[in-house]
Amino acid sequence: MSHDHHHPTGFKRWLYTTNHKDIGTMYLVFALIMFFVAGGMSLIFRIELFRPEHVFIQPEFYNQLITMHGIIMIFGVVMPAAAGLANWMIPPMIGAPDMALPRLNNWSFWLLPFAFLISLSTILMDGPTPNFGWTFYAPLSTTYGPKSTDFFIFSIHMLGLSSILAALNIAVTIINLRAPKMTWMKMPIFVWSWFITALILLAIMPVLAGGVTMMLMDRNFHTSFFEAAGGGDPILFQHIFWFFGHPEVYVLVLPAFGVISHVIPAFSRKKLFGYHMMVYATIVIAFLGFLVWMHHMFMTGAPIESQLFFMYSTMIIAVPTGVKVFNWVATMHKGSLTFETPMLFALGFLFVFTIGGVTGIMCALVPADYQYRGSYFVVAHFHYPLLATVMAIMAAIYFWLPKWCGNMYCESLGRWHFWLTLISVNLTFFPQHFIGLAGMPRRVPDYPLQFTDFNQISTIGAIVMGLAQLLFLYNIIKTVKRGKPAVERPWDGAKGLEWTLPSPMPYHSFETPPDDLDEH
């Protein structure tokens, strides 16, 4: 029976909703808006970087832009987008009617715009906005930090709380609400990926909260956690931050892994290769991710024993990651492939992620890191897996949009979007490897003349990338408003409970748990 005649419409609907589909939509719309905000910031500073000398922004503003770009992309784009995918897809995938804690779900979302409003409001305050990089090292952010830093810290607390509550919800949902026949090892792999992600989040966000609280206390209550003067240690900040920061990158990428593990089998018309190994590999990656944080600190004067331990532990992560890449390719091997837009983006993910993984191994080698660290080589390295994640999220949106809104997106626009994005991502970030190796440090608004050409190519790439995303926006809006109606299973190779529901999914689905799991 439909309960549609009860729920409100308009603004109140979105403010009060506890429906996982509505909340999923809000997360995704929020992420898309923030994608353009943070992307716009990057276009501004990429234009500044078009010439070696000053172009049009001052160094102080430049530092503020790169800080906000990083924070917004991580906490305002990738994490909310992944949460949006989780909200929309986890309950249908496990045959549940909604998330385990629907009201908490609403709060988890609404904390986000509130937190970003606080962060962005610092622009209107007297004095600089946060200008110390998204990694906000002490003492630059504590003793030498501007007044707005306290608001920044408060904003981080809100973001962390939102993530913790969302992760709690997701974990409890997956533990308790699976369909009767769905044992752990029959769970869709996107659900596995998010389950592990949720556990990582529950472990690391409180550590970040502790770290920023210590910052707040140092700044306002004369403690000296990170200040040598009072017996503290700036390096302690880096340990606490990266203990959060490294597993955080797995939080960003694991949901993407989950998406790819659904898209590739669907368009290869073949079951995911090595399901068990894929689950184990994900667990191993998550576990090892807690043991590598000091590879961000190799140059802090670390003793050789620490450098060696963290070099080895970092290198080892390549093994389970490689297993996953090979398994994805093996899934396609001897399959029957078609190349619709979701598949294109999934393949784009594989290409971009593999390059990023390879430069990661290079960075793990400590002697080589003596030349890479703090240079554009690192910037190039980390943007590869990050943009791969973004491409995976795009794959997910093209893949599941028919299910969400009941209409098919425009395929040719999707292909334009894909090719422009793939080419521009490489145009933007591949040259950055060269300038990093040649000696350009990161987080600088101007640079020695030697680096001009590659910086110019990178800027052009960034502009193309930005423009290409407008195609994406247009496609989404056009599809939702007047796309061609979609069938229940628009992708003939796709399997899973979500594909047994009508397109669009009804507002309430699986109010009784399903019996059949629609497996390969």
Active-site residue identified among 17, 141, 163, 421: 163
Q: How many CB atoms lie within 10 A of CB 210?
A: 15
Q: Which of 97, 102, 113, 274 binds other proteins (CB under 8 A)?
A: 274
Instruction: Supply the minimum distance, in Å, between the C-beta of residue 59 and other proteins.
Output: 5
Instruction: Identify the residue among 1, 5, 231, 512 touching other proteins (CB under 8 A).
Output: 231
Asked if 515 is part of the footprint of other proteins (rule: CB under 8 A), the reply reads: no
Beta bridge partners of 408: 484
According to the binding rule CB under 8 A, does residue 120 interact with other proteins? no
Which helix (H) or strand (E) segment is 60 a member of? helix 59-71
Residue 220: count of CB within 10 angstroms of its CB: 10
What does each C-alpha distance from 520 to 181, 270, 305, 424, 508 come to in angstroms? 15, 8, 49, 36, 26
For other proteins, give the closer residue by CB, 404 or 418.
418
- CA–CA distances in Å: residue 13 to residues 25, 88, 272, 474: 12, 17, 39, 25
Is residue 100 a contact point for other proteins (CB under 8 A)?
A: yes
CA angle at residue 496 from 493 to 502, to 5 degrees?
90
- Residues of span 21-50 touching other proteins by CB under 8 A: none
CA 425 to chain centre: 16
The number of residues making up the chain comes to: 520
- DSSP code at position 323: H
Interactions with other proteins, residue window 464-493 (CB under 8 A): none
Residue (25 or 341) nearer to other proteins, CB? 341
Verify binding: residue 339, other proteins, rule CB under 8 A.
yes
DSSP for 88-152, written as a single string:
HHHHHHHT-SS-S-HHHHHHHHHHHHHHHHHHHHGGGSSSPPP-STTTT-TTTTTTT--TTHHHH
CB 311, min distance to other proteins, A:
7
Known active-site residue 248 = yes
The catalytically annotated residue of 21, 324, 403, 489 is 324
Going by C-beta distance under 8 Å and a sequence separation of 6 or more, which residues neighbour residue 342?
A: 263, 266, 267, 395, 396, 398, 399, 491
Catalytic (active site) residue 481: no
Q: Decide if residue 366 touches other proteins (CB under 8 A).
A: yes
Query: Which of 57, 202, 463, 480 touches other proteins (CB under 8 A)?
Result: 202
* Catalytic site includes residue 261: yes
Instruction: Give the residue, chosen from 156, 256, 266, 323, that forms a contact with other proteins under the rule CB under 8 A.
Output: 323
**Looking at 107, 224, 249, 473, which residue binds other proteins (CB under 8 A)?**
224
246 is catalytic: yes
Residue 58 near other proteins by CB under 8 A: yes
Would you call 433 a catalytic residue per the annotation? no
Identify the active-site residue in 16, 107, 110, 134. 134
Q: Tell me if 370 contacts other proteins by CB under 8 A.
A: yes
Q: Contact between 361 and other proteins (CB under 8 A)?
A: yes
Q: Is 98 annotated in the active site?
A: yes
| Closest separation in Å from C-beta 6 to other proteins | 22
What is the torsional sign of CA 32, 33, 34, 37?
A: positive
Residue in 453, 488, 511, 519 binding other proteins, rule: CB under 8 A: 453
User: Of residues 275, 349, 499, 510, which one binds other proteins by CB under 8 A?
Assistant: 275
Least gap, CB of 44 to other proteins (angstroms): 16
Token pair 């407008």 in the structure block, residue: 470
- Of 283, 291, 337, 463, the one binding other proteins (CB under 8 A) is 337
**Residue 488 among the catalytic residues:** no
Cβ distance to other proteins smaller for residue 339 or 507? 339
Which 67-86 residues touch other proteins, going by CB under 8 A? none
145-174 residues in contact with other proteins (CB under 8 A) are: 146, 164, 168, 171-172
Q: Does 57 bind other proteins (CB under 8 A)?
A: no
- How many residues sit in the footprint of other proteins (CB under 8 A)? 145
Residue 239 touches other proteins, criterion: CB under 8 A: yes
- Nearest by Cα to 389 from 166, 136, 85: 85
Determine which residue in the list 12, 13, 121, 450 makes contact with other proteins, applying CB under 8 A: 450
Angle at 35 between CA 414 and CA 94, to 5 degrees: 70
Stretch that binds other proteins, among 181-189, 310-318, 397-405, 472-480 (CB under 8 A): 310-318
Neighbouring C-beta atoms of residue 14, cutoff 10 Å? 17
Q: Of these, 15, 176, 180, 506, which contacts other proteins (CB under 8 A)?
A: 176
| CB-nearer residue toward other proteins: 37 or 168 | 168
- 269 contacts other proteins (rule: CB under 8 A): yes
DSSP string, 430-487: HHHHHHHHHTPBSS-SS--GGGHHHHHHHHHHHHHHHHHHHHHHHHHHHHHHHPEEP-
Dig out the tokens for 222 from the structure. Answer: 């004369």
Q: Which of residues 398-427 bind other proteins (CB under 8 A)?
A: 411-413, 415-416, 419, 423, 426-427
Cis peptide before 504 (omega within 30 of 0): yes
- Compute the CA torsion angle 58, 219, 291, 442 (nearest 10 deg): 10
**Per CB under 8 A, does 439 bind other proteins?**
yes
Q: CB 29 → other proteins: shortest distance, Å?
A: 26
CA dihedral 391, 392, 398, 402 (to 10 degrees): -160
Q: Which residues contact 220 (CB under 8 A, 6 or more apart)?
A: 150
- Which positions are annotated as active-site residues? 69, 98, 134, 162-163, 246, 248, 250, 261, 295-296, 321, 324, 442
